[in-house]
Protein backbone atom coordinates (compact mmCIF):
# COMPACT_ATOMS: atom_id res chain seq x y z
CA UNK A 1 0.00 0.00 0.00
CA UNK A 2 1.35 3.38 -0.91
CA UNK A 3 0.18 6.93 -0.50
CA UNK A 4 -1.02 8.76 -3.54
CA UNK A 5 2.11 9.67 -5.46
CA UNK A 6 3.33 13.20 -4.92
CA UNK A 7 4.91 14.67 -8.00
CA UNK A 8 8.35 16.26 -7.76
CA UNK A 9 6.81 19.63 -8.48
CA UNK A 10 4.39 19.22 -5.56
CA UNK A 11 7.24 18.21 -3.25
CA UNK A 12 9.35 21.05 -4.52
CA UNK A 13 6.52 23.55 -4.03
CA UNK A 14 5.93 22.47 -0.47
CA UNK A 15 9.55 22.05 0.73
CA UNK A 16 11.38 24.51 -1.54
CA UNK A 17 10.21 27.65 0.27
CA UNK A 18 11.13 26.11 3.63
CA UNK A 19 14.62 25.34 2.36
CA UNK A 20 15.05 28.82 0.92
CA UNK A 21 13.89 30.43 4.16
CA UNK A 22 16.32 28.28 6.13
CA UNK A 23 19.21 29.19 3.81
CA UNK A 24 18.25 32.85 4.00
CA UNK A 25 18.18 32.81 7.81
CA UNK A 26 21.61 31.17 8.03
CA UNK A 27 23.34 33.67 5.75
CA UNK A 28 22.43 36.90 7.49
CA UNK A 29 26.00 36.86 8.85
CA UNK A 30 26.58 39.51 11.45
CA UNK A 31 29.53 41.54 12.58
CA UNK A 32 32.80 41.02 10.77
CA UNK A 33 31.34 39.86 7.45
CA UNK A 34 31.94 42.40 4.67
CA UNK A 35 28.65 43.35 2.97
CA UNK A 36 29.95 42.51 -0.50
CA UNK A 37 31.10 39.05 0.58
CA UNK A 38 27.75 38.31 2.21
CA UNK A 39 25.98 39.55 -0.90
CA UNK A 40 28.05 37.27 -3.14
CA UNK A 41 27.45 34.25 -0.92
CA UNK A 42 23.71 34.87 -0.89
CA UNK A 43 23.60 35.72 -4.59
CA UNK A 44 24.83 32.25 -5.51
CA UNK A 45 23.28 30.28 -2.66
CA UNK A 46 19.79 31.74 -2.96
CA UNK A 47 19.64 31.86 -6.76
CA UNK A 48 16.73 29.84 -8.09
CA UNK A 49 17.79 26.20 -8.13
CA UNK A 50 16.16 22.81 -7.98
CA UNK A 51 17.50 22.26 -4.42
CA UNK A 52 17.92 18.57 -5.26
CA UNK A 53 20.49 17.95 -2.50
CA UNK A 54 18.61 19.58 0.38
CA UNK A 55 15.42 17.87 -0.82
CA UNK A 56 17.25 14.54 -0.73
CA UNK A 57 18.34 15.20 2.86
CA UNK A 58 14.81 16.09 3.92
CA UNK A 59 13.16 13.23 2.01
CA UNK A 60 15.70 10.70 3.32
CA UNK A 61 14.96 11.83 6.87
CA UNK A 62 11.23 11.43 6.20
CA UNK A 63 11.78 7.98 4.67
CA UNK A 64 13.55 6.95 7.88
CA UNK A 65 10.81 8.28 10.13
CA UNK A 66 12.43 11.63 10.90
CA UNK A 67 11.11 15.14 10.44
CA UNK A 68 11.82 17.96 8.02
CA UNK A 69 12.69 20.24 10.96
CA UNK A 70 15.45 18.06 12.37
CA UNK A 71 16.97 17.48 8.92
CA UNK A 72 16.95 21.14 7.87
CA UNK A 73 20.46 22.00 9.16
CA UNK A 74 21.84 19.07 7.17
CA UNK A 75 19.83 20.19 4.13
CA UNK A 76 21.30 23.70 4.39
CA UNK A 77 24.83 22.37 4.83
CA UNK A 78 24.72 20.23 1.66
CA UNK A 79 23.27 23.08 -0.39
CA UNK A 80 26.05 25.38 0.84
CA UNK A 81 28.68 22.89 -0.23
CA UNK A 82 26.92 22.57 -3.58
CA UNK A 83 26.73 26.36 -4.04
CA UNK A 84 30.41 26.78 -3.14
CA UNK A 85 31.36 24.09 -5.66
CA UNK A 86 29.36 25.78 -8.43
CA UNK A 87 31.00 29.15 -7.71
CA UNK A 88 34.50 27.68 -7.87
CA UNK A 89 33.76 25.39 -10.85
CA UNK A 90 32.58 28.42 -12.83
CA UNK A 91 35.82 30.40 -12.25
CA UNK A 92 37.89 31.36 -15.30
CA UNK A 93 40.68 28.98 -14.24
CA UNK A 94 38.19 26.10 -14.03
CA UNK A 95 35.18 25.79 -16.38
CA UNK A 96 35.10 29.53 -17.15
CA UNK A 97 31.32 29.93 -17.27
CA UNK A 98 29.36 33.18 -17.46
CA UNK A 99 25.87 31.91 -16.71
CA UNK A 100 24.56 29.79 -13.84
CA UNK A 101 21.02 29.25 -12.62
CA UNK A 102 19.87 31.78 -15.19
CA UNK A 103 22.02 34.63 -13.93
CA UNK A 104 25.62 35.78 -14.36
CA UNK A 105 28.07 33.57 -12.46
CA UNK A 106 29.39 34.88 -9.15
CA UNK A 107 32.72 36.10 -10.52
CA UNK A 108 30.89 37.92 -13.32
CA UNK A 109 28.34 39.55 -11.04
CA UNK A 110 31.02 40.47 -8.48
CA UNK A 111 34.68 39.78 -9.20
CA UNK A 112 37.01 36.81 -9.12
CA UNK A 113 38.49 37.46 -5.67
CA UNK A 114 35.03 37.87 -4.16
CA UNK A 115 33.82 34.69 -5.88
CA UNK A 116 36.76 32.66 -4.58
CA UNK A 117 36.16 33.99 -1.06
CA UNK A 118 32.38 33.48 -1.25
CA UNK A 119 33.05 29.80 -1.96
CA UNK A 120 35.72 29.68 0.73
CA UNK A 121 33.24 31.11 3.25
CA UNK A 122 30.27 28.89 2.31
CA UNK A 123 32.38 25.79 2.88
CA UNK A 124 33.10 26.31 6.61
CA UNK A 125 29.60 27.72 7.14
CA UNK A 126 28.25 24.27 6.26
CA UNK A 127 30.30 22.76 9.09
CA UNK A 128 29.41 25.58 11.47
CA UNK A 129 25.73 24.73 10.93
CA UNK A 130 26.19 20.99 11.40
CA UNK A 131 28.32 21.43 14.53
CA UNK A 132 26.17 24.20 15.95
CA UNK A 133 22.66 22.94 15.30
CA UNK A 134 22.61 19.16 15.25
CA UNK A 135 22.27 17.21 18.46
CA UNK A 136 23.31 14.97 20.11
CA UNK A 137 27.06 15.58 19.60
CA UNK A 138 27.76 12.10 18.22
CA UNK A 139 25.21 12.71 15.44
CA UNK A 140 26.74 16.11 14.68
CA UNK A 141 30.21 14.56 14.52
CA UNK A 142 29.00 11.81 12.19
CA UNK A 143 27.48 14.46 9.90
CA UNK A 144 30.65 16.58 9.89
CA UNK A 145 32.72 13.53 9.11
CA UNK A 146 30.51 12.40 6.20
CA UNK A 147 30.28 15.89 4.72
CA UNK A 148 34.01 16.48 4.99
CA UNK A 149 34.78 13.23 3.19
CA UNK A 150 32.18 13.86 0.48
CA UNK A 151 33.55 17.36 -0.23
CA UNK A 152 37.18 16.32 0.01
CA UNK A 153 40.10 15.28 -2.17
CA UNK A 154 38.92 11.69 -2.63
CA UNK A 155 35.42 12.75 -3.68
CA UNK A 156 34.02 16.08 -4.87
CA UNK A 157 37.25 18.07 -5.12
CA UNK A 158 39.08 15.07 -6.60
CA UNK A 159 36.32 14.42 -9.13
CA UNK A 160 36.40 18.03 -10.24
CA UNK A 161 40.21 17.91 -10.53
CA UNK A 162 39.98 14.85 -12.76
CA UNK A 163 37.13 16.41 -14.73
CA UNK A 164 39.10 19.61 -15.41
CA UNK A 165 42.24 17.57 -16.12
CA UNK A 166 40.26 15.36 -18.44
CA UNK A 167 39.18 18.05 -20.90
CA UNK A 168 40.11 17.17 -24.40
CA UNK A 169 40.16 13.47 -23.63
CA UNK A 170 36.94 12.84 -25.55
CA UNK A 171 38.37 14.48 -28.64
CA UNK A 172 41.69 12.69 -28.19
CA UNK A 173 40.00 9.35 -27.77
CA UNK A 174 37.99 10.03 -30.89
CA UNK A 175 41.00 11.07 -32.93
CA UNK A 176 42.98 8.02 -31.88
CA UNK A 177 40.05 5.71 -32.44
CA UNK A 178 40.53 4.18 -29.01
CA UNK A 179 37.63 2.87 -26.98
CA UNK A 180 36.57 5.47 -24.44
CA UNK A 181 36.78 4.65 -20.81
CA UNK A 182 33.32 4.55 -19.29
CA UNK A 183 34.87 3.45 -16.02
CA UNK A 184 36.88 6.67 -15.89
CA UNK A 185 33.78 8.71 -16.63
CA UNK A 186 31.74 6.94 -13.97
CA UNK A 187 34.57 7.34 -11.48
CA UNK A 188 34.78 11.09 -12.16
CA UNK A 189 31.05 11.59 -11.84
CA UNK A 190 30.66 9.37 -8.84
CA UNK A 191 33.17 11.53 -7.02
CA UNK A 192 32.21 14.93 -8.50
CA UNK A 193 28.41 14.63 -8.21
CA UNK A 194 27.45 11.26 -6.76
CA UNK A 195 29.34 11.56 -3.48
CA UNK A 196 27.48 14.72 -2.45
CA UNK A 197 24.13 13.25 -3.52
CA UNK A 198 24.83 10.17 -1.40
CA UNK A 199 26.02 12.43 1.41
CA UNK A 200 22.79 14.44 1.36
CA UNK A 201 20.82 11.21 1.75
CA UNK A 202 23.14 9.92 4.47
CA UNK A 203 22.96 13.11 6.53
CA UNK A 204 19.16 13.03 6.37
CA UNK A 205 19.22 9.40 7.42
CA UNK A 206 21.75 9.98 10.23
CA UNK A 207 19.75 12.77 11.86
CA UNK A 208 16.65 10.52 11.63
CA UNK A 209 18.58 7.76 13.45
CA UNK A 210 18.28 5.37 10.51
CA UNK A 211 19.34 1.77 11.02
CA UNK A 212 22.08 0.00 9.05
CA UNK A 213 19.65 -1.57 6.58
CA UNK A 214 18.10 1.82 5.78
CA UNK A 215 21.52 3.44 5.41
CA UNK A 216 22.64 0.76 2.96
CA UNK A 217 19.45 0.98 0.92
CA UNK A 218 19.86 4.76 0.67
CA UNK A 219 23.47 4.30 -0.38
CA UNK A 220 22.37 2.03 -3.24
CA UNK A 221 19.63 4.49 -4.15
CA UNK A 222 22.00 7.46 -4.06
CA UNK A 223 24.73 5.83 -6.09
CA UNK A 224 22.34 5.04 -8.94
CA UNK A 225 20.45 8.31 -8.71
CA UNK A 226 23.69 10.31 -8.81
CA UNK A 227 24.83 8.58 -11.98
CA UNK A 228 21.40 8.93 -13.62
CA UNK A 229 21.43 12.61 -12.72
CA UNK A 230 24.81 13.06 -14.40
CA UNK A 231 23.71 11.24 -17.55
CA UNK A 232 20.65 13.45 -17.92
CA UNK A 233 22.90 16.44 -17.26
CA UNK A 234 25.11 15.36 -20.15
CA UNK A 235 22.04 14.80 -22.36
CA UNK A 236 20.65 18.21 -21.48
CA UNK A 237 24.00 19.86 -22.14
CA UNK A 238 23.91 18.39 -25.63
CA UNK A 239 20.24 18.92 -26.42
CA UNK A 240 18.88 21.91 -24.51
CA UNK A 241 19.06 25.60 -25.08
CA UNK A 242 20.81 28.03 -22.79
CA UNK A 243 17.43 29.59 -21.93
CA UNK A 244 16.03 26.25 -20.74
CA UNK A 245 19.09 25.35 -18.68
CA UNK A 246 20.00 28.74 -17.25
CA UNK A 247 23.62 27.95 -18.05
CA UNK A 248 25.77 27.57 -21.13
CA UNK A 249 25.02 24.39 -23.09
CA UNK A 250 26.89 22.38 -25.69
CA UNK A 251 30.13 23.17 -23.91
CA UNK A 252 31.08 19.57 -23.21
CA UNK A 253 31.29 18.73 -26.88
CA UNK A 254 33.15 21.96 -27.69
CA UNK A 255 35.70 21.17 -25.01
CA UNK A 256 36.02 17.56 -26.10
CA UNK A 257 34.98 16.31 -22.69
CA UNK A 258 34.16 12.69 -22.09
CA UNK A 259 30.39 12.44 -21.65
CA UNK A 260 27.86 9.63 -21.60
CA UNK A 261 26.31 10.64 -24.97
CA UNK A 262 29.81 10.77 -26.40
CA UNK A 263 30.60 7.24 -25.26
CA UNK A 264 27.22 5.51 -25.44
CA UNK A 265 25.30 7.66 -27.92
CA UNK A 266 22.03 9.42 -27.09
CA UNK A 267 19.70 6.42 -27.11
CA UNK A 268 21.82 4.13 -25.00
CA UNK A 269 22.51 6.99 -22.58
CA UNK A 270 18.78 7.55 -22.10
CA UNK A 271 18.22 3.84 -21.67
CA UNK A 272 21.03 3.61 -19.11
CA UNK A 273 19.56 6.52 -17.11
CA UNK A 274 16.16 4.82 -17.09
CA UNK A 275 17.71 1.57 -15.91
CA UNK A 276 19.60 3.33 -13.10
CA UNK A 277 16.47 5.11 -11.89
CA UNK A 278 14.56 1.82 -11.91
CA UNK A 279 17.33 0.18 -9.89
CA UNK A 280 17.42 3.17 -7.54
CA UNK A 281 13.71 2.76 -6.83
CA UNK A 282 14.13 -0.99 -6.35
CA UNK A 283 16.73 -0.25 -3.67
CA UNK A 284 13.95 1.47 -1.73
CA UNK A 285 11.74 -1.64 -1.77
CA UNK A 286 12.16 -2.07 1.98
CA UNK A 287 10.72 1.39 2.63
CA UNK A 288 6.99 2.01 2.70
CA UNK A 289 5.05 5.08 1.58
CA UNK A 290 7.37 7.33 3.60
CA UNK A 291 9.92 6.96 0.80
CA UNK A 292 7.46 8.07 -1.89
CA UNK A 293 9.13 11.48 -2.01
CA UNK A 294 12.48 9.93 -2.87
CA UNK A 295 10.85 7.83 -5.60
CA UNK A 296 9.21 10.92 -7.11
CA UNK A 297 12.50 12.74 -7.08
CA UNK A 298 14.18 9.82 -8.84
CA UNK A 299 11.52 9.80 -11.56
CA UNK A 300 11.90 13.54 -11.97
CA UNK A 301 15.55 13.07 -12.88
CA UNK A 302 14.44 11.34 -16.08
CA UNK A 303 11.85 13.98 -16.94
CA UNK A 304 13.68 17.17 -16.12
CA UNK A 305 14.42 19.65 -18.86
CA UNK A 306 16.74 21.95 -16.90
CA UNK B 1 59.15 29.14 40.07
CA UNK B 2 59.61 28.50 36.38
CA UNK B 3 61.46 25.93 34.32
CA UNK B 4 64.56 27.02 32.53
CA UNK B 5 63.29 28.99 29.54
CA UNK B 6 63.09 27.02 26.34
CA UNK B 7 63.85 29.13 23.28
CA UNK B 8 61.47 29.12 20.35
CA UNK B 9 64.08 27.39 18.24
CA UNK B 10 64.39 24.60 20.82
CA UNK B 11 60.60 24.20 20.92
CA UNK B 12 60.42 24.29 17.17
CA UNK B 13 63.19 21.70 16.84
CA UNK B 14 61.48 19.32 19.20
CA UNK B 15 57.85 19.69 18.06
CA UNK B 16 58.31 20.72 14.42
CA UNK B 17 59.27 17.24 13.17
CA UNK B 18 56.32 15.71 15.05
CA UNK B 19 53.94 18.19 13.39
CA UNK B 20 55.41 17.56 9.95
CA UNK B 21 55.15 13.80 10.39
CA UNK B 22 51.52 14.16 11.50
CA UNK B 23 50.70 16.35 8.48
CA UNK B 24 52.47 13.93 6.19
CA UNK B 25 50.55 10.94 7.55
CA UNK B 26 47.20 12.70 7.13
CA UNK B 27 47.76 13.67 3.50
CA UNK B 28 48.56 10.26 2.03
CA UNK B 29 44.98 10.31 0.68
CA UNK B 30 43.99 7.01 -0.83
CA UNK B 31 41.66 5.93 -3.58
CA UNK B 32 39.82 8.64 -5.47
CA UNK B 33 42.35 11.42 -4.94
CA UNK B 34 44.09 12.40 -8.20
CA UNK B 35 47.88 12.22 -7.81
CA UNK B 36 48.39 15.79 -9.01
CA UNK B 37 45.86 17.16 -6.52
CA UNK B 38 47.47 15.26 -3.63
CA UNK B 39 50.88 16.50 -4.75
CA UNK B 40 49.69 20.12 -4.80
CA UNK B 41 48.10 19.83 -1.36
CA UNK B 42 51.27 18.34 0.11
CA UNK B 43 53.53 20.74 -1.76
CA UNK B 44 51.96 23.71 0.01
CA UNK B 45 51.13 22.07 3.33
CA UNK B 46 54.52 20.45 3.89
CA UNK B 47 56.64 23.34 2.57
CA UNK B 48 59.04 24.60 5.23
CA UNK B 49 57.12 26.91 7.53
CA UNK B 50 57.32 28.13 11.09
CA UNK B 51 54.25 26.03 12.03
CA UNK B 52 53.20 28.82 14.42
CA UNK B 53 49.53 27.78 14.51
CA UNK B 54 50.05 24.07 15.18
CA UNK B 55 52.69 24.95 17.77
CA UNK B 56 50.18 27.25 19.47
CA UNK B 57 47.65 24.41 19.60
CA UNK B 58 50.19 22.01 21.10
CA UNK B 59 51.63 24.56 23.55
CA UNK B 60 48.15 25.68 24.66
CA UNK B 61 47.25 22.06 25.35
CA UNK B 62 50.45 21.66 27.40
CA UNK B 63 49.75 24.89 29.28
CA UNK B 64 46.36 23.47 30.26
CA UNK B 65 47.79 20.16 31.42
CA UNK B 66 47.13 18.24 28.20
CA UNK B 67 49.48 16.29 25.97
CA UNK B 68 51.01 16.88 22.56
CA UNK B 69 49.49 13.61 21.34
CA UNK B 70 45.90 14.51 22.09
CA UNK B 71 46.30 17.99 20.58
CA UNK B 72 47.97 16.82 17.36
CA UNK B 73 44.75 16.42 15.30
CA UNK B 74 43.78 19.99 16.20
CA UNK B 75 47.31 21.16 15.34
CA UNK B 76 47.06 19.50 11.92
CA UNK B 77 43.62 20.95 11.28
CA UNK B 78 44.69 24.55 11.93
CA UNK B 79 47.79 24.18 9.75
CA UNK B 80 45.62 22.81 6.93
CA UNK B 81 43.32 25.81 7.13
CA UNK B 82 46.36 28.07 7.17
CA UNK B 83 47.91 26.32 4.14
CA UNK B 84 44.63 26.51 2.20
CA UNK B 85 44.35 30.23 2.96
CA UNK B 86 47.90 30.89 1.74
CA UNK B 87 47.24 28.99 -1.51
CA UNK B 88 44.07 30.98 -2.24
CA UNK B 89 45.52 34.33 -1.06
CA UNK B 90 48.40 33.88 -3.50
CA UNK B 91 46.12 33.34 -6.53
CA UNK B 92 46.33 35.85 -9.41
CA UNK B 93 42.82 37.15 -8.62
CA UNK B 94 43.83 37.79 -5.00
CA UNK B 95 47.37 38.89 -3.99
CA UNK B 96 48.97 37.44 -7.15
CA UNK B 97 52.17 36.18 -5.54
CA UNK B 98 54.81 33.99 -7.12
CA UNK B 99 56.83 33.02 -4.06
CA UNK B 100 55.76 31.50 -0.76
CA UNK B 101 57.77 29.75 1.92
CA UNK B 102 60.80 30.07 -0.33
CA UNK B 103 59.29 28.19 -3.26
CA UNK B 104 56.99 28.99 -6.19
CA UNK B 105 53.38 29.44 -5.07
CA UNK B 106 51.00 26.54 -5.66
CA UNK B 107 49.44 27.96 -8.82
CA UNK B 108 52.91 28.62 -10.24
CA UNK B 109 54.25 25.17 -9.41
CA UNK B 110 51.06 23.48 -10.65
CA UNK B 111 48.28 25.54 -12.27
CA UNK B 112 45.48 27.78 -11.12
CA UNK B 113 42.72 25.17 -11.22
CA UNK B 114 44.82 22.71 -9.24
CA UNK B 115 45.72 25.41 -6.69
CA UNK B 116 42.08 26.38 -6.19
CA UNK B 117 41.14 22.72 -5.72
CA UNK B 118 44.10 22.01 -3.43
CA UNK B 119 42.82 24.75 -1.12
CA UNK B 120 39.26 23.51 -1.51
CA UNK B 121 40.37 20.02 -0.49
CA UNK B 122 42.55 21.05 2.47
CA UNK B 123 39.62 22.93 4.01
CA UNK B 124 37.26 19.93 4.50
CA UNK B 125 40.22 17.69 5.39
CA UNK B 126 40.71 19.83 8.49
CA UNK B 127 37.14 19.06 9.58
CA UNK B 128 37.49 15.40 8.63
CA UNK B 129 40.44 15.15 11.02
CA UNK B 130 38.71 16.95 13.89
CA UNK B 131 35.52 14.91 13.50
CA UNK B 132 37.35 11.64 12.91
CA UNK B 133 40.11 11.76 15.51
CA UNK B 134 39.01 13.83 18.48
CA UNK B 135 37.03 12.26 21.30
CA UNK B 136 34.65 12.48 23.06
CA UNK B 137 32.11 13.72 20.48
CA UNK B 138 31.22 16.90 22.37
CA UNK B 139 34.88 17.96 22.26
CA UNK B 140 35.09 17.18 18.54
CA UNK B 141 31.93 19.20 17.90
CA UNK B 142 33.27 22.15 19.90
CA UNK B 143 36.47 22.05 17.84
CA UNK B 144 34.58 21.87 14.51
CA UNK B 145 32.41 24.77 15.57
CA UNK B 146 35.35 26.99 16.62
CA UNK B 147 37.35 26.19 13.50
CA UNK B 148 34.40 26.79 11.18
CA UNK B 149 33.75 30.21 12.72
CA UNK B 150 37.42 31.20 12.66
CA UNK B 151 37.76 30.27 8.96
CA UNK B 152 34.41 31.76 7.97
CA UNK B 153 32.88 34.91 6.53
CA UNK B 154 32.98 36.86 9.80
CA UNK B 155 36.63 36.05 10.43
CA UNK B 156 39.38 34.74 8.15
CA UNK B 157 37.54 34.86 4.81
CA UNK B 158 35.94 38.20 5.72
CA UNK B 159 39.25 39.70 6.81
CA UNK B 160 40.86 38.63 3.55
CA UNK B 161 37.93 40.07 1.56
CA UNK B 162 38.34 43.42 3.32
CA UNK B 163 42.11 43.26 2.92
CA UNK B 164 41.86 42.67 -0.84
CA UNK B 165 39.12 45.30 -1.09
CA UNK B 166 41.23 47.71 0.88
CA UNK B 167 44.18 47.89 -1.50
CA UNK B 168 45.01 51.42 -2.46
CA UNK B 169 43.46 52.86 0.67
CA UNK B 170 46.87 53.70 2.18
CA UNK B 171 47.90 55.63 -0.90
CA UNK B 172 44.51 57.35 -1.09
CA UNK B 173 44.66 58.35 2.55
CA UNK B 174 48.13 59.73 2.03
CA UNK B 175 47.18 61.71 -1.05
CA UNK B 176 44.13 63.17 0.66
CA UNK B 177 46.05 63.93 3.84
CA UNK B 178 43.41 62.19 5.90
CA UNK B 179 44.23 60.35 9.10
CA UNK B 180 44.38 56.62 8.46
CA UNK B 181 42.06 54.30 10.25
CA UNK B 182 43.99 52.10 12.66
CA UNK B 183 40.71 50.62 13.81
CA UNK B 184 40.00 49.38 10.30
CA UNK B 185 43.48 47.93 10.07
CA UNK B 186 43.18 46.16 13.41
CA UNK B 187 39.75 44.84 12.47
CA UNK B 188 41.07 43.41 9.19
CA UNK B 189 44.04 41.77 10.85
CA UNK B 190 42.11 40.49 13.80
CA UNK B 191 39.81 38.63 11.42
CA UNK B 192 42.38 37.68 8.77
CA UNK B 193 45.18 36.47 11.05
CA UNK B 194 44.16 36.86 14.68
CA UNK B 195 41.05 34.68 14.59
CA UNK B 196 42.95 31.60 13.43
CA UNK B 197 45.74 32.22 15.96
CA UNK B 198 43.14 32.44 18.73
CA UNK B 199 41.43 29.38 17.30
CA UNK B 200 44.65 27.35 17.39
CA UNK B 201 45.03 28.18 21.07
CA UNK B 202 41.39 27.45 21.79
CA UNK B 203 41.42 24.06 20.09
CA UNK B 204 44.51 23.08 22.07
CA UNK B 205 42.82 24.24 25.25
CA UNK B 206 39.53 22.49 24.44
CA UNK B 207 41.14 19.08 23.85
CA UNK B 208 43.03 19.53 27.13
CA UNK B 209 39.72 20.18 28.91
CA UNK B 210 40.75 23.70 29.95
CA UNK B 211 38.54 25.56 32.40
CA UNK B 212 36.85 28.91 31.70
CA UNK B 213 39.60 30.94 33.34
CA UNK B 214 42.27 29.28 31.22
CA UNK B 215 40.22 29.73 28.05
CA UNK B 216 39.78 33.43 28.73
CA UNK B 217 43.45 33.96 29.52
CA UNK B 218 44.39 32.22 26.26
CA UNK B 219 41.92 34.39 24.38
CA UNK B 220 43.61 37.53 25.76
CA UNK B 221 47.00 36.08 24.96
CA UNK B 222 45.96 35.13 21.43
CA UNK B 223 44.36 38.43 20.59
CA UNK B 224 47.51 40.37 21.48
CA UNK B 225 49.86 37.84 19.98
CA UNK B 226 47.95 37.84 16.70
CA UNK B 227 48.15 41.61 16.38
CA UNK B 228 51.85 41.66 17.34
CA UNK B 229 52.46 38.98 14.74
CA UNK B 230 50.81 41.08 12.06
CA UNK B 231 52.76 44.19 12.99
CA UNK B 232 56.07 42.36 12.73
CA UNK B 233 54.84 40.91 9.42
CA UNK B 234 54.26 44.44 8.15
CA UNK B 235 57.67 45.55 9.44
CA UNK B 236 59.37 42.59 7.78
CA UNK B 237 57.54 43.26 4.52
CA UNK B 238 59.00 46.75 4.55
CA UNK B 239 62.48 45.96 5.77
CA UNK B 240 63.48 42.44 4.78
CA UNK B 241 64.75 40.93 1.60
CA UNK B 242 62.88 38.36 -0.44
CA UNK B 243 65.62 35.81 0.39
CA UNK B 244 65.09 36.25 4.13
CA UNK B 245 61.31 36.06 3.93
CA UNK B 246 60.86 33.38 1.30
CA UNK B 247 58.14 35.54 -0.25
CA UNK B 248 57.92 38.83 -2.10
CA UNK B 249 58.59 41.86 0.11
CA UNK B 250 57.85 45.55 -0.15
CA UNK B 251 54.58 44.72 -1.84
CA UNK B 252 52.35 46.40 0.73
CA UNK B 253 53.83 49.83 0.03
CA UNK B 254 53.75 49.28 -3.74
CA UNK B 255 50.09 48.38 -3.54
CA UNK B 256 49.31 51.28 -1.24
CA UNK B 257 47.97 48.94 1.43
CA UNK B 258 47.21 50.18 4.90
CA UNK B 259 49.93 48.82 7.20
CA UNK B 260 51.08 49.51 10.74
CA UNK B 261 54.36 51.13 9.63
CA UNK B 262 52.37 53.27 7.21
CA UNK B 263 50.07 54.52 9.95
CA UNK B 264 52.33 54.56 13.01
CA UNK B 265 55.81 54.77 11.48
CA UNK B 266 58.53 52.17 12.08
CA UNK B 267 59.49 53.09 15.64
CA UNK B 268 56.00 53.32 17.04
CA UNK B 269 55.05 50.10 15.25
CA UNK B 270 57.96 48.27 16.91
CA UNK B 271 57.05 49.77 20.26
CA UNK B 272 53.40 48.72 19.83
CA UNK B 273 54.41 45.15 18.99
CA UNK B 274 56.62 45.01 22.12
CA UNK B 275 53.77 46.30 24.25
CA UNK B 276 51.33 43.74 22.84
CA UNK B 277 53.73 40.85 23.49
CA UNK B 278 54.29 42.07 27.06
CA UNK B 279 50.52 42.22 27.59
CA UNK B 280 50.13 38.79 25.99
CA UNK B 281 52.61 37.32 28.46
CA UNK B 282 50.88 39.09 31.37
CA UNK B 283 47.63 37.40 30.33
CA UNK B 284 49.37 34.09 31.09
CA UNK B 285 50.21 35.12 34.66
CA UNK B 286 47.79 32.56 36.06
CA UNK B 287 49.67 29.73 34.32
CA UNK B 288 52.80 28.21 35.79
CA UNK B 289 55.87 26.85 34.01
CA UNK B 290 53.65 24.74 31.72
CA UNK B 291 52.96 27.92 29.73
CA UNK B 292 56.64 28.67 29.24
CA UNK B 293 56.41 27.42 25.66
CA UNK B 294 53.71 29.97 24.84
CA UNK B 295 55.79 32.75 26.39
CA UNK B 296 58.82 31.78 24.32
CA UNK B 297 56.73 31.76 21.19
CA UNK B 298 55.41 35.24 22.01
CA UNK B 299 58.95 36.57 22.49
CA UNK B 300 59.99 34.98 19.21
CA UNK B 301 57.41 37.07 17.39
CA UNK B 302 59.45 40.18 18.23
CA UNK B 303 62.75 38.63 17.23
CA UNK B 304 61.83 36.84 14.04
CA UNK B 305 63.43 37.84 10.79
CA UNK B 306 61.24 35.78 8.45
Chain B contact for A111 (CB, 8 A cutoff): yes
User: What is the chain A residue with the closest CA to B149?
Assistant: A128
The pLDDT-based confidence of A29 (bands split at 50, 70, 90) is very high
Residue A131 and residue B145: Cβ atoms within 8 Å?
Answer: yes
The pLDDT-based confidence of A167 (bands split at 50, 70, 90) is low
Looking at the whole model, is its pTM more than 0.80? yes
Chain A contact for B225 (CB, 8 A cutoff): no
* Alpha carbons B299 and B278: distance in angstroms, whole number: 9
Residue B94 and residue A113: Cβ atoms within 8 Å?
Answer: yes
- Residue-wise pLDDT for A31-68, tens only, equals 899 999 999 999 999 999 999 999 999 999 999 999 99
For residue A174, pLDDT over 70 is answered with no
> Which of the pair, A264 or A255, is modelled with greater confidence?
A264
Q: What is the pLDDT of residue B6?
A: 82
A131, A133, A149: best mutation site toward chain B, by most B Cβ within 10 Å? A131
Q: What is the pLDDT of residue B177?
A: 42
Chain B contact for A145 (CB, 8 A cutoff): yes
Residue A117 and residue B145: Cβ atoms within 8 Å?
Answer: no
Residue B141 and residue A147: Cβ atoms within 8 Å?
Answer: no
For residue B45, pLDDT over 80 is answered with yes
> Which of the pair, B245 or B258, is modelled with greater confidence?
B258
Q: What is the pLDDT of residue B26?
A: 98
Residue B128 and residue A140: Cβ atoms within 8 Å?
Answer: no
Q: What is the pLDDT of residue B85?
A: 98
Q: Are strands B99-100 and B103-104 parallel, antiparallel or unpaired?
A: antiparallel
Q: ipTM of the predicted structure?
A: 0.93
Summary mean pLDDT of chain B: 90
Q: Which of B238, B243, B245, B242 lies closest to B305 in space, CA to CA?
A: B245
For residue B172, pLDDT over 50 is answered with no
Tell me which residue in A31, A128, A154 faces B148 most closely, judged by beta carbons.
Answer: A128
Alpha-carbon torsion, ordered A156, A58, A225, A174, to 10 deg: -40
Which residues 238-277 in chain A show a CB within 8 A of chain B?
none
Q: What is the pLDDT of residue A180?
A: 53
The pLDDT-based confidence of B245 (bands split at 50, 70, 90) is low
Domains defined for chain B, CATH in brackets: 8-303 (1.10.600.10)
Chain B contact for A132 (CB, 8 A cutoff): yes
Chain B contact for A88 (CB, 8 A cutoff): yes
The pLDDT-based confidence of B167 (bands split at 50, 70, 90) is low
Residue B140 and residue A136: Cβ atoms within 8 Å?
Answer: no
Q: Tell me the mean pLDDT in the region B43-63.
A: 97
Q: Are B7 and B293 in contact (CB under 8 A)?
A: no
Amino acid sequence: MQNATLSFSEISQSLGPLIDAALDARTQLGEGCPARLREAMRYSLLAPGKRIRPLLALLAAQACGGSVEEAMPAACAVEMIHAYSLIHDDLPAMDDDDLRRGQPTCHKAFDEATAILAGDALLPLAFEILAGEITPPEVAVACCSKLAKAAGACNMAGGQADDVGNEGRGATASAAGEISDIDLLESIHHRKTGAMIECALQLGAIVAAADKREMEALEQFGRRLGMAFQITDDLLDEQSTEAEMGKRTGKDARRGKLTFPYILGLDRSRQYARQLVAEACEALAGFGPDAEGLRSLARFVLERNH
